[in-house]
Chains A and B, each alone.
Chain A
Amino acid sequence: MSYKFLSDVAIADTAFEATGKTLTELFQSAAVALITTLADPKTVKPALAKVIELKAETVDKLLFNFLEELVYLKDTDAMVFSKVTVTVDEQKLTLLATVKGDTVKPAEQKLGQDIKAVTMHYFRVEKTNGWKAQVVLDI
């Protein structure tokens, strides 16, 4: 389970590649890449908790909608995140996630960039030995 930011895919935006042995691990990696773009999770207190439940027709849509939900929470609750714990059912294509974090507090949190949207630009989820995804976030 890991992720890396890619410097040569998007110029004005942020691209990352996430991997995992299982879909749960892949989604976990992608979520960490996204929340790290918003703020250093180590500097965010787990003061609030939110639950995300999703179902989709394809793995691609499930990942896209999951990441989009995190972006939505960021704006509606003015929230940055400390931790995401997600479980994906590969057969049913359902997802249950618990998201912890706090409202934005610039004095105590190391903030990064706001994310406008998860894009479909070169958005890919691939089954390799495990799973691999590429995501471009609009900044």
Chain B
Amino acid sequence: MMANRDAPIPEFQKQSDFVWDIPTAYKKGMLVPGRMFASKQLLQDMDRTVYDQLANVASLRGIQQHALCMPDAHSGYGFPIGGVAAFDPEEGIISPGGIGFDINCGMRLVTTNLTYKEVKPRLKQLVDLLFQRVPAGVGCKGFVKLDKKLFQQIMTQGAGWCVDNGFGWHEDLAAIEDNGCIKQADPAFVSDKAMTRGMDQLGTLGSGNHYLEIQYAGEIFDQAVAKKLGIISEDQICVMVHCGSRGFGHQIGTDYLKIFLDKMASYKLNVLDPELACAPFQSKEGQQYYSAMACAANMAFANRQVILHRIRECFSETFGKSPEKLEMNMVYDVAHNIAKLEKHTVDGKMKEVVVHRKGATRAFGPGRKELTGKFNKMGQPVIIGGSMETGSYLLLGTEGALEQTFGSTAHGSGRTMSRTQAKRDFNGEQLQKDMEKRGIYVRTTSYSGLAEEAGKAYKPISVVVDTLERAGISKKIVGLKPLGNIKG
């Protein structure tokens, strides 16, 4: 009863030093080739289950061009994490397993005008206050009290609801993917169970690899673009948040997984892994899931918005200045677990496709109509979250991503070690002490959880990001270094 860790290594067809194809002959049923974005070393070190999972994705009805895999890929359930797949909206499917249970898990980056030297002496005070005010860990509840009616407003209005209700600034919305609100959301297709599970969780981090991190802009690769995004010096303090739609999205994923498993036979759909359960995109169930998924995506945008509000309060209290004076401006907010109907070039023609991104980020280059304001000219910011020990990156989407990956890129550094193994190899308390000696102050609700997130459990993020740049699907703008971290 093992995962397919013994999957054969494919006979890769090299397209370039950073692009490798898995031919359809690799596994029976593949409709299109798999395509891996990876350096030779990352490819050699890749968890082999990824190949098998990518081949399974390549066999789903209506898939276009290639089943894609980003350099941070590792095995997931159903789709690999770091997977991107586009489906024809008429012939093809939508699959919750291509999005993940944590719908619109994503990243948010915020600037300050504080410097490393100003924050360092008050770092503990600041992190302790954030740890107190931003609920994290198992079963955490938020401070915003909602009833069913208000929660339904959040489902349809997303981050905009928060701004209208005093949790943020109007200009925040312009720096969120889809302005923090996906239009096709319809609460009619959300179960009561999902609502009761998520209603008390607005403004909470959760656990696993979710975090809130105080960072400094350790390395600026493109001064001009960084400046346009609000980052001007290498000692500037920023704040990064990684979390999603909490129990609400998780329940929607579970609900529709069960619905799709029961319905697949009636649509003559057969999948190689039950986690690839799917429905035709145009079917009643497919459209209902798409609407429910958007509700969860909007809740996740709202969740990160309320967390930002709390972060601003904590900074303001610690440094005795208003968040406006501290220039706590949004850089951007991106989703990395989502499906979207977008126009892309397929076989030389522009057409609509349903792009699934699971542990992958939209990375649109300049000119896309979805990008508004300054982003339309410069391209879309991409936030790549690394481990708590190694740092993260701010990138920019490119034309190359639109040409090669349906406008997509990686989402993080990617795990290489299982959680169970990491708990055996690392001790949470010791790790916390070691990190403090290196100048990184961490608070957590779970020491075993902290051990699971050790830097050595992840791929080297600089190698992943260099691969993205050299493959032409993202451009490096800023490297961010950790200073303080809150783990759930």
Report which A residues bind B (CB closer than 8 A): 5-15, 17, 38-39, 68, 71-72, 74-76, 78-80, 103-104, 106, 110-114, 116-124, 126, 132, 134, 136, 138-139
**Residue ID in chain A nearest B208 by CB atoms:** A139
Shortest C-beta distance, B73 to chain A (Å), equals: 10
B206 CB contacts on chain A under 8 angstroms: 114, 116
Residue B188 at the chain A interface, CB threshold 8 Å: no
Q: Given A79-B139, A111-B449, A117-B253, does the pair A12, B207 have CB atoms closer than 8 Å? A: no
Bits for B399-425, please: 1 = Cβ < 8 Å to A, else 0.
Answer: 000000000000000011111110010
Q: Give B196-238 as 1s and 0s: 1 = Cβ < 8 Å from A's Cβ atoms.
A: 1110110000111100000000000000000000000000000
Closest-by-CB residue of B relative to A121 is B77
Asked if B261 is at the interface (CB within 8 A of a chain A CB), the reply is yes
B140 in the interface (beta carbon within 8 A) = yes
A114 and B448 alpha carbons, distance in the complex (Å)? 12
Instruction: With both chains docked as a complex, state the minimum distance between the C-beta of B244 and any C-beta of chain A, in angstroms.
Output: 9
Q: Nearest Cβ in chain B — how far from A47, in angstroms? A: 14
A104 nearest in chain B by CB position? B139
Inside 8 A of B74's CB, which chain A residues have their CB?
A: 11-12
A78 and B101 contacting across the interface, CB-CB below 8 Å: no
**How far, in Å, is A131 (CB) from chain B's closest CB?**
12
> What's the Cα separation between A8 and B418 when bound, in Å?
7
Cβ 8 A contact of B47, one of A6, A11, A114, A124: A11
User: In the complex, A125→B42 CA distance in Å?
Assistant: 35
Complex CA–CA separation, A5 to B418 (angstroms): 11
Is A111 in contact with B446, judged by CB distance below 8 angstroms? Answer: yes
Residue numbers of B with Cβ under 8 A of A are: 1-3, 5, 47, 74-78, 81, 100-102, 137-141, 193, 196-198, 200-201, 206-209, 246-247, 250-251, 253-254, 257, 261, 273-275, 277, 415-421, 424, 445-446, 448-449, 452, 488
**Bound complex: CA A120 to CA B277 (Å):** 9
Task: Report yes or no: B415 in contact with A12, Cβ–Cβ below 8 A.
Answer: yes
Can you report 27 A-B residue pairs in the complex whose CB atoms are below 8 A from each other? Answer: A11-B419, A12-B415, A12-B418, A12-B419, A13-B77, A14-B420, A38-B139, A71-B250, A72-B197, A75-B197, A76-B196, A80-B139, A104-B137, A104-B140, A111-B138, A112-B446, A113-B449, A114-B139, A114-B488, A116-B102, A116-B247, A116-B250, A120-B277, A121-B3, A122-B1, A123-B274, A132-B1
* Assembly CA distance A90 to B473 (angstroms): 54
Flag if A78 contacts B207 (CB, 8 Å).
no
| Distance to closest chain A CB from B418 (angstroms) | 5
- Tell me the smallest distance from the CB of B125 to a CB of chain A, in Å: 20
Query: Is A8 a contact of B138 with CB atoms below 8 Å?
Result: no
Taking a contact as CB atoms under 8 Å apart, the answer to whether A10 and B3 are in contact is yes
Q: Is the CB of B445 within 8 A of A111?
A: yes
Question: When the two chains form their complex, are residues A138 and B274 in contact, meaning their CB atoms are under 8 A apart?
Answer: no
A12 to B419, CA, bound (A): 6
- What is the bound-complex CA distance between A136 and B277, given in angstroms? 16
Given A106-B445, A114-B208, A132-B1: A121 in contact with B273 (beta carbons within 8 A): yes
Q: For A78, list chain B residues within 8 Å (CB).
A: 139-141, 200
Q: Give min CB distance, A20 to chain B, whole Å.
A: 15
In the complex with contacts A6-B420, A8-B418, A106-B445, A113-B208 CB distance below 8 A: yes
Q: How many angstroms between the C-alpha atoms of A76 and B139 in the bound complex? A: 8
Whether the Cβ atoms of B138 and A112 lie closer than 8 Å is yes
**Given A8-B5, A13-B77, A113-B452: A118 and B254 within 8 A (CB)?**
yes
Q: Which residues of A contact B2 (CB under 8 A)?
A: 8-9, 122
A7 and B424 contact, CB distance less than 8 A:
yes
On chain B, the residues within 8 Å of A7 by CB distance are 418, 420-421, 424
User: Could you tell me the distance in whole angstroms from the C-beta of B182 to the nearest C-beta in chain A?
Assistant: 20
Q: Are A138 and B139 in contact (CB under 8 A)?
A: no
Q: Which of A11, A13, A71, A124 has the most CB of B within 10 A?
A: A11
- Alpha-carbon distance A78/B140, docked complex (angstroms): 6
Task: For the complex, give the distance between the alpha carbons of A103 and B445 in Å.
Answer: 14
> Are B101 and A39 in contact, with the CB atoms below 8 A?
no
User: What residues of chain A lie closer than 8 Å to B138, measured between beta carbons?
Assistant: 38-39, 74, 80, 104, 111-114
Complex Cα gap A105–B430 (Å): 23
Instruction: Give the chain B neighbours of A38 by CB distance below 8 A.
Output: 138-139
